[in-house]
Structure 1
Amino acid sequence: MSLKKTFMATMAATATLATTVQAETTLKISHYTPALHGIQTDFIEPWTEQVTECTGGEVQFEIFAAGSQLGNVARQQEQVMAGVVDIAHGLHGIPRGRFPRTSLIDMPFLTNDAGAASQTLWDLLPTHLAEEYKGLKVLALHAHNSGLLHTNAKKVETMEDMDGLRIRTPSPAVSQMLSTLGADPQGLPPSEVYESLQRGVIDGTVFPWDPVNSFGLNEVLNYHLDLRAYTVSFFYVMNQRSYDNLSEEAQACVDQASGADLVAKFGDWWDAWDAPGRQDAIDAGHEITELSEDERSRWREALQPMMDGYLQSVKDGGVDNAAEIYQAMQDKIAEYEAAQQD
């Protein structure tokens, strides 16, 4: 081969290599749960593998879990908005006040099923919730199964038993619920609950069974009241610029792995994630109590003014159609729960 041909071939190979390298994109994903939690092992990791395979390796991922420099639950939304990370999974209620429309799903006694709540959020996103996600590509919205009240020193069975208890709370709606029932809500990220219980800073927490297991809380708890009174919602979102910078083919792969099909998996996932926490409490000899129907009726009645007031506060905060959104959530959840019973 002549020197000229050799030079041309080398240049072509170099250009091809440069194009290939340039086409590869590594996206950062952050979330606030431990790396061994199902959020990462069952949800995020398989999602990244699906996208990477679909793109033929064009899109790769780096995951930052709890304990990492990007794993702070209070910073997920701001990090993804600023482009510090490309994708984030976080709680709508932390920090408070950033997702007032979506967080209406946290209202007491609205639902006790992760599947129905998650599908309701996804259905209402384009019509009622989209304004809260400007600058973001929403990949999924979801909620957990109904939360319980977990305490270390005092068993709770009635509203009166709640009086003065310092209870960790995950969201404004749940905080108002606890206050109305006589408790003293304490805003804490999940990662701080164990130490706060151990040191006596709080008397208990509201959680579904899953984080009780993943954060090892059964070691510092003794009593569990099955409230079936609230849920908490989560976002899985991507910086819009990060999405727009992908090739059309890669965008299609992200879309294919996300949306309704992804949201539909959370009901079964939460059932599976909750089971070990409950079994661990049973094995430890803890007392698990179910809120009686008579007591549940008392709680509902006591909480009605709080719910009316919360809706008004959301409206006063600029969400003029808060009551309409709440009614739409009620209707959708009823529809999904009825379908589950058929």
Structure 2
Amino acid sequence: MAISFRSLSLGVAACALTTFACAQEVTLKVHHFLPAGSYANAKFIQPWCDKVNKESNNRIKCQVYPSMQLGGTPPQLIDQVRDGTVDVVWTLPGYTAGRFPLIEVFELPFMMQNPEATSKAVWDYVQQYDKTEFKDVHPIAFHVHGDGVFHMVKQPVRTMADLKGLKLRAPTRQTNKFLAALGATPVAMPVPQVGEALAKGVIDGAVVPYEVVPSVKIQELVKFHSETDPSEPAFYTSTFVFAMNQKKYDSLPADLKKVIDANSGQAFSGQIGKIFLEADGEGKKLASKNTFNVIPKTELENWKKAGQPLIDAWVAEVTAKGVNGKQLLDGARALIAKHSATK
């Protein structure tokens, strides 16, 4: 027993002298809804994991589970990270319709023109106006994607009249409302369901950014891609959150918290937005054999008029919940303008 005790004492001394040798290590279970080969996984999620691993001297490791491999559905991801079923998730708050109404301001019609600047604005907006909605998780980043695009099976979209009666997939509550205001029949569904819905004729088209194209092979399922005038704000975008379980974060030693913190926040949010914009270009190339058109600014003025009642309704809705909706709308627009001027 004396030998064992002496060995233990030497081991403790060695740990004290060589901190990293015996320091706490952590493995993060990272869960999301897109395939491993998606741009989101390959260009953002896995690189983040690699970076925190390197900066922690291999003490933070990730096990990434794409395509909902740990079970559940995309709308359940936010609860999975809240409850500690997983440690980190990447998801859309809008997949749980109406649960995060304040952050929906960025999903209103014609709010976003540059995803890098707008992603920084989303982070700042949450810190200033919207911490309560995300109090049950530890946010690492918020971001948006690039311009939404119409991907159509049988006919392009040139005017509002072209949308009448068509069944179109949209990701979130506000985008669904906008499509309905434009005359379409919105069909809410997460991205992983889009490919099958297009192939089976359940929908006539989908609104997603080009970044999503390879994830569901949209280029093989549609013939037409209708973009809005690039000089105008996007007719829609979606907000995303990259979040960690709060108890998991709290359990980390101070030096590992610093690593997570150094790879979180406004700058990182903007970086993700930039990555998604670059991925749009790569996704568009995959669809190069299809037909493209641009919906002109003159036509989009009609769309803006159709979308204004949605904006007014959102302001009224959140104001009824006890916050100043007009202040939040103005604040979001001011933050977008601020970061657009300095990006």
Same fold (TM over 0.5): yes
- Between the aligned partners of 2:217 and 2:311, the Cα distance in structure 1 is 32
Aligned AA for 1:216? K
Mapping for residues 1-342 of structure 1, pairs under 5 Å: 4=2, 6-12=3-9, 23-70=24-71, 72-227=73-228, 228-282=234-288, 284=289, 286-316=290-320, 318-340=321-343
Structure 1 residues 56 and 12, CA gap change in structure 2 (3 angstroms): farther
What SS class does the counterpart of residue 151 from structure 2 fall into? strand
Structure 1 length normalisation: TM-score? 0.91
- State the alpha-carbon separation in 1 of the partners of residues 318 and 151 from structure 2: 28
Q: Which runs of 5+ in 1 are unaligned?
A: none
| Contact in 2 for aligned 1:224/1:287 (Cα 8 Å) | yes
What is the identity percentage for the equivalent residue pairs of Structure 1 and Structure 2? 28
What SS is found at the alignment partner of 2:131? helix
Tell whether the 8 Å contact from 1:210 to 1:274 is kept in structure 2 after alignment.
yes
Q: Distance in 1 between matches of 2:10 and 2:57?
A: 20
Whether contact under 8 Å (1:149, 1:204) holds in the other structure is yes
Per-residue deviation at 1:38?
2.6
- Whole-angstrom distance in 1 between the partners of 2:25 and 2:285: 44
Deviation for aligned residue 1:310: 2.8
- Partner Cα distance (2:270, 2:297) in 1: 30
Matched length: 333
Is the alpha carbon distance of 1:139 and 1:218 closer, same or farther for their aligned partners in structure 2, counting shifts above 3 Å? same
CA distance in 2, matches of 1:32, 1:322: 31
Contact 1:151–1:223, Cα closer than 8 Å, also in 2: yes
Kindly state the Cα deviation for residue 323 of structure 1 after the two structures are TM-superposed.
2.0
Equivalent-residue separation in structure 1 for 2:72 and 2:32 (angstroms): 5
* Structure 2 Cα separation of the partners of residues 266 and 54 of structure 1: 19
Q: Report SS of the residue matched to 2:226.
A: strand
Structure 1: how far apart are the matches of 2:59 and 2:342? 40
Between the aligned partners of 1:13 and 1:32, the Cα distance in structure 2 is: 47
CA distance in 2, matches of 1:49, 1:279: 28
Alpha-carbon distance in 1 for matches of 2:72, 2:211: 19
CA separation of 1:22 and 1:253: change in aligned 2, threshold 3 A:
closer
What is the CA-CA distance between 1:111 and the residue it aligns to?
1.3
C-alpha separation between the residues in 2 aligned to 1:151 and 1:87?
A: 34
Distance 2:297 2:4 in 1: 83
Q: Answer whether contact 2:213 2:283 (CA < 8 A) is retained.
A: yes
2:75 touches 2:96 (CA, 8 Å); kept in 1?
yes
Tell me which residue corresponds to 2:231: none
Q: Deviations over 1:313-335 (max 9, x none)?
A: 3333x252222111111112122
C-alpha separation in 2, matches of 1:312 and 1:144: 26
Could you give the per-residue CA deviations for residues 61-111 of structure 1, whole angstroms, max 9, x where no partner exists?
211111412473211100001000111110111021121111210010111
By how many angstroms is 1:204 displaced?
0.6
8 Å Cα contact 1:86-1:242 kept in structure 2: yes
Output the CA distance in 2 between the equivalents of 1:323 and 1:213.
38
* Greater Cα shift, 81-90 or 52-61: 52-61
**Which residue identity is paired with 1:275?**
G
Q: Is the 8 A contact 2:318 2:324 kept in 1?
A: no
The CA distance in 2 between the partners of 1:59 and 1:292, in whole Å, is 49
Q: Which amino acid aligns with 1:51?
A: V
- Counterpart Cα distance in 1 of 2:57 and 2:272: 27
Conservation of the 8 A alpha-carbon contact between 2:143 and 2:270:
no
Evaluate the alpha carbon distance shift between residue 157 and residue 41 of structure 1 in structure 2; reply closer, same or farther with a 3 A threshold: same
Instruction: State the secondary structure of the residue aligned to 2:90.
Output: strand
CA drift at 1:34: 1.1
Provide Cα deviations, 1:191-223, integer angstroms capped at 9, x if missing partner.
Answer: 111111111110011111010222211111111
